[in-house]
Structure 1
């Protein structure tokens, strides 16, 4: 039965004769390091690669398969590291391993696959340790590693105690984890793609760091368990010493992973600083010069920034979280209206500038007055006075629904020059003060509005969803953004969770006024 490993996971090996193979989307070389308990090569003769194909118990075939006879491996060896590296000298070769597609297999003497490990990479690595085959008493086990090295095979083997001269294949000393985009022109219509490329880089970097850290901890746990397996020696000085060494090895592995991750985080931060002034306002931070310089052109942007993503174990790493624009479903800002107001204002400001070629108009319901500091400076953009009385809500929603229906009829008839200008509808204090049928009208706006340029932001509490079917439908179809508590977002590349902190309109009065003035061209 084949076992599919994840980083740090180990498995027993039922066979002493093994075949190691690896495949990648780009040409690769396979090599092996025979190491001691500190993961240091026993000698340069214990490095098996394309220019030195044999060592005791290890043989590298010309087809890239490594044959391992574990009973013949040097008795001083604690383990064998199975390594892959990019082969830029081959046709279609690359100086880096492919971001996706690297898979390592360990088979028995009959070529039956025992373990498979799909190696997670950031995309900057030129070499990686796939598997560690290690002794445990008289038995052997295998552990998934997945540790990458940007400096290629030369860096990898040097860090494991092998002195190397000039490599047979050209190796880049330090391949940047993420290329800086400074000076690269951005197409405003494809800025969302750039933002998600940065998110993907961050997600893969974080996954690689966590994988390396988990591997180090799993290895430590395994070694500590092994050290106390014999009750007669578990309190001996030798065991205490071996445990201390195991702790040191774990700390060294984690420190190396942290060093690599910190470097990638620094490069990501540099990239974000470089690209922020080039982004359209709908995707830029409020500190960006995009909010103060004159707007040129009328290209429609394709993204909307909601906030920043972070994770407790990732230190200072922060990346923007953006969604496609136009937004195909309502945004529901969940929380107390007063607390939610800066978040609503930030989203609304970005939505109002997302289509500079077609100026949007505002329709606002604000019973509590929590949005007044946002709506009062934008009087020129209001399509109608702000609804401040509950008695006027139904009439406004009915008028909006009828307008959407007429716009749909005009669009179906091909009479596009009669379509109303795009509208951003903000429904504050929901569901308090709204009538029994108002939720159905809002659902109608949510279903039909986006096709004719009507976007929707709902502000308020979602607790009524438990008892009100209309509110429950809205809760189901809306993108909820809580203003308190924790909202986790799973990235689509590694499945790891991130915490979303929604953006807020600037606190400083002058900065806030500058942003709002830019919406009306002042």
Structure 2
């Protein structure tokens, strides 16, 4: 049974090999000191920190991060050690908060190696402190215990280490902060845990975020499109293929839509405010969220950002976005079902009136018809009231969640981009645009895809009939908009990866995409000049297909060390402009190979093309078309959710007109790449 400690409380540890897990929502430094019976740290060899992360019986994280796992073997500690102090500090001088009072309360948990939680402690009441002793593991006779300490220091690491009697405390504190600021031992965060319950939250087989438009795939060629009764002019949005059922619906069959407009259910697993049990080898757990602030009796509770399950604030926000998407899908389905029921009931009652010759004329028939219409109006009004209530609650939640999103989840107009700093870890997902339904077009749900990308992207430059904007634009304008969209997506990918961990190549056979590519070229963030002409196109494709071959062979042979020393280990993105102009059958085959095999070894494809223009390649292009996630540069309703199949209008994530945020972010990316020598 887990012990939830308060300050000063202790708890017996059942074993000597443990993990200490920390979650703070923002990057912090985690370390530990060893001390003797008098609580004194004898020297620097009793301090574990990012610059010196291993001691006998102790290992800490090698970088500042929002989540940490510290490994402790109490039986292997040096002789004379009676205490292990777990230290948390803010990375002062590298941007971000300078006091713990500006953060959510840090959460610390002691777990067994199997992930079972022994004791946890939420460190509250911090204000001006920039360093804190979170926990103390100490020996009492033959037992080891853990005590919740929560002692903060406004003077930071130096003051805290001085208080522990460490000689040269100021120097070691400076060394720790310099190591963090210098980015020593940058690492990639572990993926979120995969539990039986959590698979529905974290499944990435379709590359789109859970709950987002099911597979994004286009219907197989030759398949007659389905239509909704109220939208017979347009094809039904894309649905999951049989091989990719949504995890909530075995066999790919969604639950039926509710028949009445009841309130949204906010209790499905991704939105429960307490985290699931921690499995072994998972990322650190996070503190249970406080329940949403109670409103007046009969009113919904006030929403809060991060009110979902997850092992970090990033994952909680990711799951909350998914929950909002599912809730909006289901409440719209309930409303539409209720309206359909009202229409059907009125038609039945009117048919009954008309089937009786005695009631076709005269006052009796008129009264029956008026009664049927009144019932219909009342049912529709009830359904609309329920819809408006649920939409208002979701809009309030969106207003809270949107400002709290990290850069990789945030729209370009979010103020978080003005405080952008090049990250040191890969985020779990990326925002590619927004989704909305006609019931309330201003309620936008972010479309998030998991990272690393597991599918390429097809930016459609064609004039589709389902998009009013696309049908009015000419071909040249659509190609320009599509390329602008591709550049915005590529810039976002460059911005959310650590410096040097993502490379972008461009194929532009005729040079027509030069105006759109200007931000990337001027910032100097491309891997090389855009490939123009048949020879350059062939060289670029050959280089990337060779990289796929080499890495695949090394992985299969278990010989990663045998890769050529000049091989670029960064993730690679190939943007193909103006396809199919300038491409022959061999080039198309290579593109198909990159689309199919590349994502598993870090090579990704982004096609900018018109499906109709590419039809000249015939069936050979169909596998490529189906393998990529189709996005549009203008609003279009080609995506569907996996529960009830709504047509969701997708809008790309573009920078606001006149904004310079893209240039500012790319400038920082370029500076960071130069600093890292990439």
Q: TM-score range by the shorter chain?
A: 0.5 to 0.7
From 505, 511, 528, the equivalent of 1:384 is 528
Alpha-carbon distance between aligned partners in 1 of 2:654 and 2:381, rounded to the nearest angstrom = 36
Q: CA deviation at 1:240?
A: 1.6
Deviates most, 339-348 or 186-195: 186-195
Paired position in structure 2 for 1:353: 495
Give the corresponding residue for 2:622.
Answer: 472
Q: Does 1:197 align with 2:314?
A: no
Please report how far the alpha carbon of residue 433 of structure 1 lies from its aligned counterpart in structure 2 after TM superposition: 0.8
Encode CA deviations 1:446-492: one digit per residue, 9 max, x unaligned: 23322222221011122333534543331132222234684422211
Moved over 6 A (4+): 182-185
* Paired position in structure 1 for 2:300: 176
From the superposition, tell whether residues 180 and 241 of structure 1 become closer, same or farther in structure 2 (CA, over 3 Å).
farther
2:412–2:656 CA contact under 8 A, matched in 1: yes
| Structure 2: segments with no counterpart, 5+ residues | 1-247, 250-254, 266-295, 462-477, 673-678
Query: For residue 467 of structure 2, what is the aligned residue in structure 1?
Result: none
- Give the structure 2 partner of residue 413 of structure 1: 559
The DSSP-based 3-state class of the residue aligned with 2:524 is helix
Instruction: Show the counterpart of 2:652.
Output: 502
Paired position in structure 2 for 1:329: 455
Q: Quickly say closer, same or farther: Cα 1:260–1:346, change in 2 above 3 A.
A: farther
Determine the structure 2 residue equivalent to 1:276.
Answer: 402
Q: How many angstroms apart in 2 are the aligned matches of 1:363 and 1:218?
A: 56
Deviation at 1:207, TM superposition (A): 1.0
Q: Is the 8 Å Cα contact of residues 635 and 651 (structure 2) preserved in structure 1?
A: no
Q: How does 1:331-480 map to 2 (within 5 A)?
A: 331-335=457-461, 336-356=478-498, 359-366=501-508, 367-378=510-521, 379-411=523-555, 412-415=558-561, 420-463=569-612, 464-465=614-615, 467-480=617-630
Distance 1:392 1:182, change over 3 A: closer
Name the CA shift for 1:329/1:373 in 2 (closer, same or farther; >3 Å).
same
Is contact 1:331-1:457 (8 Å) kept? Answer: yes
Q: 1: distance between equivalents of 2:671 and 2:640?
A: 38
Task: Give the unaligned 5+ runs of structure 1.
Answer: 1-99, 102-117, 122-144, 152-171
C-alpha contact (below 8 Å) 1:300/1:357 kept by paired residues: no
SS class of match (1:327): coil
| Deviation string, structure 1 residues 260-291 (Cα, Å, up to 9, x no partner) | 21222222222223222332323211111221
Shift of 1:438: 0.6
User: In the superposition, relative to structure 1, how do residues 386 and 219 fare at CA in structure 2: closer, same or farther (>3 Å)?
Assistant: same
**Are the counterparts in 2 of residues 426 and 457 from structure 1 also a CA contact under 8 Å?**
yes
For the pair 1:148 / 2:299, whether they are aligned, the reply is no
Partner of 2:34: none
Cα distance change of structure 1 residues 510 and 485 upon mapping to structure 2, 3 Å threshold? closer
Secondary structure of 1:492 counterpart: coil
**Residue 149 to residue 328, structure 1, CA distance change in 2 (3 Å):** closer
Where in structure 2 are the equivalents of 1:286-297 lying within 5 Å? 286-295=412-421
The answer for the alignment partner of 2:198 in structure 1 is: none
Question: Structure 1 residues 421, 315: closer, same or farther in 2, change over 3 A?
Answer: closer
Distance 2:500 2:301 in 1: 39
Residues 203, 357 of structure 1: alpha-carbon distance in 2 compared, 3 angstrom cutoff: farther
1:406-459 residue CA offsets vs partner (Å, 9 max, x unmatched)? 333444413289652222211111110123311111122223322222221011
Q: Write the distance in 1 (CA, Å) between the matches of 2:409 and 2:338.
A: 33
**1:2-401 map, 5 Å:** 120=257, 145-148=259-262, 173-174=297-298, 176=300, 179-181=303-305, 187-189=313-315, 191-295=317-421, 298-335=424-461, 336-356=478-498, 359-366=501-508, 367-378=510-521, 379-401=523-545
User: Which whole-Å CA distance do the structure 1 matches of 2:667 and 2:421 have between them?
Assistant: 13
Say which SS state the counterpart of residue 625 (structure 2) adopts: helix
- Measured against aligned partners, the alpha-carbon deviations of 1:292-325 in whole angstroms (never above 9, x if no partner) come to 1133753322223232223335554432222222
* Alignment length (residue pairs): 365
Residue-by-residue CA offset, 1:74-116 (whole Å, 9 max, x unaligned): xxxxxxxxxxxxxxxxxxxxxxxxxx99xxxxxxxxxxxxxxx
Asked whether the equivalents of residues 635 and 652 of structure 2 are also in contact (C-alpha less than 8 Å), the reply is no
Distance in structure 2 (CA, Å) of the matches to 1:329 and 1:404: 15
Distance 1:520 1:264 in 2: 45
- CA-to-aligned-CA distance 1:34-68 (integer Å, 9 cap, x gap): xxxxxxxxxxxxxxxxxxxxxxxxxxxxxxxxxxx
**Contact kept in structure 1, 2:264 and 2:390, CA below 8 Å:** no
Once residues 119 and 434 of structure 1 are traced to their aligned partners in structure 2, the CA distance between those partners, rounded to angstroms, is 46
Per-residue deviation, 1:383: 1.2
After superposition, the Cα gap between the structure-2 partners of 1:471 and 1:195, relative to the gap in structure 1 and judged at 3 Å, is same
Matched residues in 1 for 2:594 and 2:256: separation? 46
TM-score using structure 2 length: 0.49
In structure 1, how many angstroms separate the alpha carbons of the residues matched to 2:304 and 2:605?
Answer: 36
Q: Against the structure 1 CA distance between its residues 208 and 519, is the aligned structure 2 distance closer, same or farther, given a 3 Å change threshold?
A: farther
Secondary structure at 1:505 match in 2: coil
Q: CA deviation at 1:204?
A: 1.0
Going from structure 1 to structure 2, the CA distance change for 1:192 and 1:358 (only over 3 Å counts) comes to farther
SS at match of 1:437: helix
Q: d(CA) in 1 for partners of 2:624 and 2:357?
A: 62
TM-score w.r.t. length of structure 1: 0.62
Q: C-alpha distance in 2, partners of 1:290/1:322? A: 17
Q: Say whether 1:490 aligns with 2:640.
A: yes
The answer to whether the 8 A contact 2:503-2:526 is kept is yes
CA contact (8 A) 2:305 2:317 kept: no
Partners of 1:332 and 1:449 in 2: CA distance: 15
